[in-house]
Structure 1
Amino acid sequence: MAQGLQSPIGRILPRRATAAVTDALGDTRVVLVNGARQCGKSTLVAQIAAEHGAQWRSLDRATTRQAATYDPTEFVADADPMVIDEVQRVPELLLAIKEAVDTDPRPGRFLLTGSARLLGLRGLPDALPGRMETIELWPLSQGEIGEQPDGFVDAVFALGPELRHSSTETRPGYIERITRGGFPEAVARTARRRERFFDSYVADLINRDVLQLSEIERGPEMRALTRLVAARSGQLLVPGALGNDLGLPQPTVKRYLGLLEEVFLIKRIPAWSRNLNTRAVGTPKVAMVDSGIAANLLGMDAESLRRPDRPLGALLEGFVAMEIARQLSWSKQRAELYHYRTRDQVEVDIVLENRQGQVVAIDVKAASTVKAEDFRGIRHLSTRLGADLVAGIVLYTGQQTLPFGPQFRAVPISALWETAQVG
């Protein structure tokens, strides 16, 4: 039995992904829970495995890994159902799993976890198309930490400008949330001990997973790139500019960025365009997957961020973007996350578009007051989208929902996790 049922927080927090994993096991032969190291994958999967009577095998254990490498076919033939933890450490197992489930196609035979995007691994064999469902697990959302609804995405698409929310959260409270992040190990610690966790986490990720995946020996360059990306959170991701700062060729920077994304340290947010404006910029933006890691890489704790001379905007925007990214993994709305910017520097921080072409435009402000000009980018997009714009929202650190026209609202940031699902 896995030991993942122990939690650093002292209690097992319900995860929104639980229902998705359980449903997938009911009709899919192989289910993969993919996400960052120490985000709670093993705890989630251990609970589900216990209910299904599954045998647990962790490839983080050297002996288990050697057995899997020596004879992958025999390794997966021994038990049913089976959990294989950190499957990316022996990717050859996937061919053996494919053979096993093709011979016996019953659903729920294998439940896998991975800490790297399997499709990004070099030399990966057949990735089980049509046989495997992948469910991404992020670090804890604010709603999961506080056991609150986490229903903003569904609510804003359903209600549009009729969404209303009042908040008691304050700017210092948001700063505490940003610097804490969502890793269970970090949530359980004091602020000072949390810094040590973040330092060790990033160092281990680069020294172990990134270098293992890439077969390179450029740890110092990877660490420098990671800090540089954290400093540019919420900005356009331009490999050439990063390469100039680091003294590295652009192809090398592109490869390194891909590796950081494969191990769930960063997330690219693609540019949105519907060919409505030929001046739209197609460059993606970048965000750190966890705001606590981002703040720590920049040497910023809650105390320093509370000082008025310290810029909060980029960290806050990344924090909001990743809370929304988490929600999109379980929301009923099948929407995608984008940003929008023109060559004239008109921009919208976050654009959500669902399968019907409906759009919610969101800007993030690190201020407790909102002005009409804060809706400049959203109004620009509104004139081009017409009826397809469901609502334009400025998320801010104030406490009341305020109207700025028929479709536009200033809404407290805490609406992200305190709003109940609708629809």
Structure 2
Amino acid sequence: MVESRPAPIGYRRRTVDDDLDALMPGLAAISIEGPKAVGKTATALTRAATVYQLDDIGQRQIIEADPNRLTQGALPILVDEWQKWPPSWDVIRRAVDANPSPGRFLLTGSASPTGVDTHSGAGRIVPIRMRPMSLAERGFTASVSLAKLLTGSRPDISGSTPATLNDYVIEILAGGFPGMRGLTDRQLRTALDGYLDRVVDRDFPEQGMTLRRPDSLRSWMRAYAAATATTASFETIRDAATPGVGNKPSLTTTLPWRDILTRLWILDPVRAWLPSDNKLKELASSDKHHLVDPALAARLLQATPRKLLGGEQPELAVPRDGTFLGALFESLVALNLRVYAQAAEADVRHLRTQRGEREIDFIVIGPDGGVVAVEVKLSATVSTGDTKHLRWLKERIGDQLLDSVLVTTGTEAYRRQDGIAVVPAALLGP
């Protein structure tokens, strides 16, 4: 146990801190969930008065011998990496049952353990998702608020940014993992390779999955990376992962890989928007593929600034419209929107008709059911043709569409005469 531990030196406030500010005064226990290295522990340490680190063997052995220690100490109490000793979840749940006073416990975890009989914690332990750093968290100054767009008030759209396409490429490759920010190019490549190797060599075995051929899993991860921002089918991804192989792996072999990659928060697909009314029909239900950070997808496919800016496609190809850089830019916007939407109590989906005639990259669903439609364009300029799907959606759902946005690589934010907002990615914020 560590008491009164100071916040990490150089801590940069995260968007999820706003969630914690709002929720901790009313909730007894909160679990901060997300992939490794997104900063869960650092954020929790800024608030915890007592810390139990269950990835420390010595501390874990003491807790195993006397589980009630987890509930002792100055509040709030942080149980870090709780999944290293899964019974800790039920210890905290029972403590909340006995005393539901707010602000008592924080838990952090990078994966839910498999094959372990733990209570869901529903109503006692409230989960909060944490993702890699958004552009606003990385230091870009936002002038357009997603929360304000969700009000339907049609706010003024303004602001300028010096960010160019080169800057977005740098941010895509650098990623949003706090510990990797500021590294040299070689250091960054090594760090990302190490992160991916750990997924295969350590995280999968910890999830109860023994890999006889680790390279096969790496091929699948590369295939998912190649499918970024597409709704590619399982068969398409399987073929990309096993080119030239006649006897393809079965579903029973590969579906557990996908499930574990999702449980580890590495795969982070955007679900389809399927409204319950009759205004929109024949919508496709397939997820749109994204990894939790486009830097991982870029590294899996050995992307470099020269290759991306030169329009080169990865050797491991999945059919798509547009360039791989366009897909990675869309994935960067997806990361940003999800961080900002969570702060606004909103959800992020995508829209695609079954035949593919209509497609909108992101549908942000506000807490009252109204939506903001977002299209992503790898360009600094916008034409009327770029807005056709947004205008179509307005015709179909009317006032349910609170606002429409085109996210670009340009430098100026403004609202077009047709009412559609044009916003450079760097200027969009919570």
5 Å-filtered alignment, 1:304-315, equals 304-309=307-312, 311=323, 312-315=325-328
Separation in structure 2 between the aligned mates of residue 155 and residue 102 of structure 1, nearest angstrom: 38
Deviation for aligned residue 1:204: 0.8
Contact map agreement 2:29 2:103 (CA 8 A) in 1: yes
Secondary structure of the residue aligned to 2:407 is strand
Separation in structure 2 between the aligned mates of residue 133 and residue 408 of structure 1, nearest angstrom: 37
Greater mean alpha carbon deviation, residues 345-354 or residues 249-258: 249-258
Runs of 4+ in 1 over 6 A off after TM superposition: none
* Aligned residue in 2 for 1:64: 59
Separation in structure 2 between the aligned mates of residue 164 and residue 101 of structure 1, nearest angstrom: 47
5 Å-filtered alignment, 1:43-62, equals 43-49=42-48, 53-54=49-50, 56-62=51-57
Contact map agreement 1:361 1:389 (CA 8 A) in 2: yes
* Aligned residue in 2 for 1:259: 260
Change (3 A) 1:99 1:277: closer
* Aligned residue in 2 for 1:322: 335
Change (3 A) 1:161 1:407: farther
State the AA in 1 paired with 2:273: W
* Aligned residue in 2 for 1:344: 355
Identity %: 25
* Aligned residue in 1 for 2:161: 167
State the AA in 2 paired with 1:337: V
State the AA in 1 paired with 2:376: V
Separation in structure 1 between the aligned mates of residue 143 and residue 128 of structure 2, nearest angstrom: 18
Contact map agreement 1:179 1:296 (CA 8 A) in 2: yes
Structure 1 segments unaligned to the other structure (5+ residues):
none
Contact map agreement 2:54 2:82 (CA 8 A) in 1: yes
Q: With the length of structure 2 as denominator, give the TM-score of the two structures.
A: 0.87
* Aligned residue in 2 for 1:115: 110
Aligned-CA RMSD value: 2.4
Deviation for aligned residue 1:257: 1.8
Separation in structure 1 between the aligned mates of residue 32 and residue 291 of structure 2, nearest angstrom: 20
* Aligned residue in 1 for 2:397: 385
Change (3 A) 1:114 1:342: same
Contact map agreement 1:161 1:391 (CA 8 A) in 2: no
* Aligned residue in 2 for 1:177: 171
Change (3 A) 1:259 1:151: farther
Greater mean alpha carbon deviation, residues 21-30 or residues 258-267: 21-30
Deviation for aligned residue 1:89: 1.5
The question of 1:146 aligning with 2:157 is answered no
Separation in structure 1 between the aligned mates of residue 364 and residue 415 of structure 2, nearest angstrom: 20
Greater mean alpha carbon deviation, residues 145-154 or residues 197-206: 145-154
* Aligned residue in 1 for 2:427: 415
* Aligned residue in 2 for 1:397: 409
Secondary structure of the residue aligned to 2:31 is strand
* Aligned residue in 2 for 1:227: 222
* Aligned residue in 2 for 1:92: 87
Secondary structure of the residue aligned to 2:122 is coil
Greater mean alpha carbon deviation, residues 388-397 or residues 162-171: 162-171
Separation in structure 1 between the aligned mates of residue 16 and residue 329 of structure 2, nearest angstrom: 25
Secondary structure of the residue aligned to 1:32 is strand
State the AA in 2 paired with 1:21: L
Q: Report how many residues are paired.
A: 406
Greater mean alpha carbon deviation, residues 407-416 or residues 257-266: 407-416
Structure showing the higher helix proportion among its residues: 1
Greater mean alpha carbon deviation, residues 398-407 or residues 138-147: 398-407
Deviation for aligned residue 1:326: 1.0
Contact map agreement 2:156 2:415 (CA 8 A) in 1: no
Greater mean alpha carbon deviation, residues 364-373 or residues 218-227: 218-227
* Aligned residue in 2 for 1:280: 283
Deviation for aligned residue 1:142: 1.4
Q: Which residue, out of 106, 120, 125, partners 2:118?
A: 125
Contact map agreement 2:282 2:353 (CA 8 A) in 1: yes
For residues 350-407 of structure 1, give each alpha carbon's deviation from its aligned partner in whole angstroms, at most 9, with x where no partner exists: 1112132222111111112222111222222222111221222221112234555523
Change (3 A) 1:382 1:250: farther
Contact map agreement 1:150 1:327 (CA 8 A) in 2: no
Contact map agreement 2:161 2:426 (CA 8 A) in 1: yes
